[in-house]
Amino acid sequence: MSDKRIFIKGNEAIAMGALAAGARCFFGYPITPQNDIPEFLSKAMPDAGGEFVQAESEVAAANMLLGAAACGIRAFTSSSSPGVSLKQEAISYMAGSELPGVIVNINRGGPGLGDIGPAQGDYFQAVKGGGHGDYRLLVLAPGTCQEAYDLMIESFDLAFKYRNPVMILGDAILGQMKEPVEPWKPEGINPEEGKDWALYGASDHSPRIIKSLFLGEGELAGQNQHLREKYEAMQVEARAESYLTEDAELVVCAYGSIGRIVKSAVRKLRANGKKVGLFRPITLYPFPSNELLELAKKGKRFLTTEHNLGQMVEDVRLAIRTVADSEFFGFMPGNLPTPDAFEEPILAALERK
Amino acid sequence: MKDELVFKRPEVMADVTMHYCPGCHHGVAHRLVAECLESMGLVEKAIAVCSIGCSVFLYNYLKLDSVEAPHGRAPAVATGVKRARPDNFVFTYQGDGDLASIGMAEIMHCANRGERVSVVFVNNTVYGMTGGQMAPTTLIGQKTTTCPGGRCRDREGAPIKMAEIIAGLGGVAYCARVAVDSVKNIVKAKKAIQKAFEVQTQGLGFGFVEVLATCPTNWRMTPVAANARIAEEMIPYFPLGEYKDVTKEGGTC
Ligand SMILES: Cc1ncc(C[n+]2csc(CCOP(=O)(O)OP(=O)(O)O)c2C)c(N)n1
Ligand code: SF4
């Protein structure tokens, strides 16, 4: 399965993972800190026999993705926070038209132009909808370069399995950090993927219409009900990493790069005999609520830490609300986090009882 | 004497009643697109990119594989479709609010990249679907619901001439402005649409046809008066003709 280990940035891992997954179209627009993705793909994508387009804007890039996805082709776009805001209309149309496509957000500081450093301010946007209307994306949050590569491959499978857009939510740390990655290729992708719904000209099927407009009596309600059932079916995909939670008194909840940094802090505190553990959601939607609730039922206490003013903490509290609560520590966007920054708030929460 | 059928609906057109108002030119433009697709053998290869406006239901009238694009974004969606399926025939059908206002960036860059797609642009000088507001193509002095005193050059700017602008862009292989107000003009319009389709099938570049069209409802005119307005007011400001044709220049764009 493995070729050999390579030392690459998270952004490159994302681009290479997508190629390994059989992505054939990429549409992008420059914005720091995700530029390595379009730069890498401007050569690698044509080399792999695919199409690379530097679009005129993120609005256009997202709509190009919509077009390619309507053809049942594995396609994706990447950007960072301000650019992802611009993609929201197309993402909403894709969700409404049930199109599979992958959107990568290398989250930077905000609001507004913010900065180009890491942050987790786009959690709500990614997980709660972002665009207009009632819809959900599958949201995956890698914490390492290897996981970025692996989840990128999986994101296409999920997008086609559910005919739904998938978002990869990283941040400037993940994008810019270099790590060893073991590249691998999934077993052959089903060549018939999308054949029963995608557009390729009405040659062997009656004309197909891909749309999100439903004006007939009861039609839109029916579509929304159908989407609800799909979102319910997606719940089985919920996944998290539990690290030393078994005997922990305090479980720290953190995702993405912050989850990874907190892991170092937890490891260090453990070495000093402190009973703390880490719960790192890998899927942010669906949120791994059941696993959290099980931990809460065992009498654990919780601290959620994020690189924002407190967003995921709402989902943590919702998951455990019948038996426990979660404290919150927010590391400010605009500052670069280190393991030390989290040690003190974790210790304080552990000792508060 | 034997009855002879001399006029029938193209096969690709669905046998349904269109929702267009009496005297609206959208139906004529649809028919010309349908005839060209059939005569060129493109029906089974075609992917239509429908826009937001009165023509949003194009997919109900032409029996083709179709996708609905957000308002103004049809050229970007068409780019994605064509890049994903280079062997298919891809066209957009857009109104003037859609193409020349909210979607200005997408149409300019799609044309400039020379995407192998064809665009049918229906210019009726108003936002039809939303109730007759001012469009970027509304003529000076023309009254709409958002310029009730008439469009004023100083305040709202001059009406945008898309065919002239598009013709100046690098990737464009064919660009024309036509009207469908008379039999003579309809014949020319069909030829232009066919040409815009051919430059795509021949891989020469981007094809664009601006169709001057009526919106009797929002012009507050009878169908007959609206049809007459095309020659009286629109054509003098939006001159008909071919603005670019690389096949005549003997080269590619
Ligand atoms: C983002 C967005 N803004 C506004 C609208 C509302 N809207 C629907 S159609 C339309 C204008 C259509 O006018 P035009 O393109 O000229 O086509 P026509 O109806 O005249 O054929 C507008 C503004 C929308 N659907 N989406
Ligand atoms: S409102 Fe105008 S453009 Fe729309 S169908 Fe009626 S006449 Fe045609």
Q: What domains, with CATH codes, occur in chain A?
A: 6-199+225-236 (3.40.50.970), 241-352 (3.40.50.920)
CA distances from B86 to A50, A66, A72 (A): 11, 16, 13
pLDDT, mean of residues A30-56: 98
CA of A107 to the centre of ligand 1 (A): 32
Region A139-164: mean pLDDT is 98
For A162-183, give one letter per residue: b (16+ CB within 10 A) or e.
bbbbbbbbbbbbbbbbebebeb
Topology of domain B26-249 in CATH is Rossmann fold (3.40.50)
The Å distance, Cα A103 to ligand 2 centre, comes to 37
Q: What is the rounded distance in angstroms from the CA atom of residue A230 to the CA atom of residue B187?
A: 50
Q: Kindly tell me if the per-residue pLDDT of A156 is higher than 80.
A: yes
For residues B8 and A331, which has the higher predicted lDDT (pLDDT)? A331
How do strand B241-245 and strand B172-179 relate by DSSP bridges? Answer: antiparallel
- Percent composition of chain A: helix, strand, coil (DSSP 3-state, to 5): 40, 20, 40
Sort out which chain A residues have CB atoms less than 8 A from B99's CB and list them: none
* Threshold 0.95, pTM exceeds: yes
Task: Say what the ipTM of the complex is.
Answer: 0.96
Strands B172-179 and B126-127: unpaired
The pLDDT value recorded for residue B3 is 84
Q: Specify the pairing of strand A51-54 against strand A25-28.
A: parallel
Distance CA B147, CA B123 (A): 18
Render B97-123 in DSSP notation, one character per residue.
HIIIIITHHHHHHHHHHT-S-EEEEEE
- What average pLDDT values come out for chain B (253 residues) when binned by 10 residues? 82 95 98 98 98 97 98 98 98 98 98 98 98 98 98 97 98 98 98 98 98 98 98 98 92 56
Report the distance separating Cα A91 and Cα A98, nearest Å.
Answer: 10
pLDDT surpasses 90 at A142: yes
Mean pLDDT (whole number) for A5-13: 98
| Chain B neighbors of A201, CB-CB under 8 A | 44-47, 65, 85, 88-89
What percent of chain A is modeled with pLDDT above 90?
Answer: 96
Give me chain A's average pLDDT, please.
97
Q: How do B126-127 and A276-281 pair as beta strands? A: unpaired
In a mutational test of the pocket of ligand 1, which residue from B20, B21, B49, B98 has the highest number of ligand atoms less than 8 Å from its CB? B98
A57, A66, A209: residue with CB nearest B59: A209
Per-residue confidence (pLDDT) for residue A188, from 0 to 100: 84
Q: Is the pLDDT of residue A18 over 90?
A: yes
Number of Cβ within 10 Å of residue A254's Cβ equals: 28
The CA distance from B247 to B197, in Å, is 13
> Mean pLDDT throughout A124-129?
96
The finding on whether B54 has its CB within 6 A of some atom of ligand 1 is yes
- pLDDT, tens digit, 9 for 90 and up, residues A65-104: 999 999 999 999 999 999 999 999 999 999 999 999 999 9
| Cα separation, A310 vs A258, whole angstroms | 13
Whether chain B has a CB inside 8 Å of the CB on A224: the answer is no
Which atom of ligand 1 is least distant from the CA of B96?
Answer: 16
pLDDT at residue A3 above 70? Answer: no
Residue A341 has pLDDT above 70, yes or no: yes
**Cα–Cα distance, A346 to A154 (Å, whole number):** 33
The alpha carbon of A261 and the centre of ligand 1 are apart by a number of angstroms equal to 48
Taking the CA of residue B122 as reference, the ligand 1 atom at the shortest distance is: 21
Query: Cβ contact (<8 Å) for B80 and A207?
Result: no
* Dist. CA B127–CA B133, nearest whole Å: 5
Lining residues, ligand 2, CB within 6 Å: B 20-21, 24, 26, 54, 124, 128-129, 215-218
- What pLDDT is stored for residue B7 in this prediction? 80
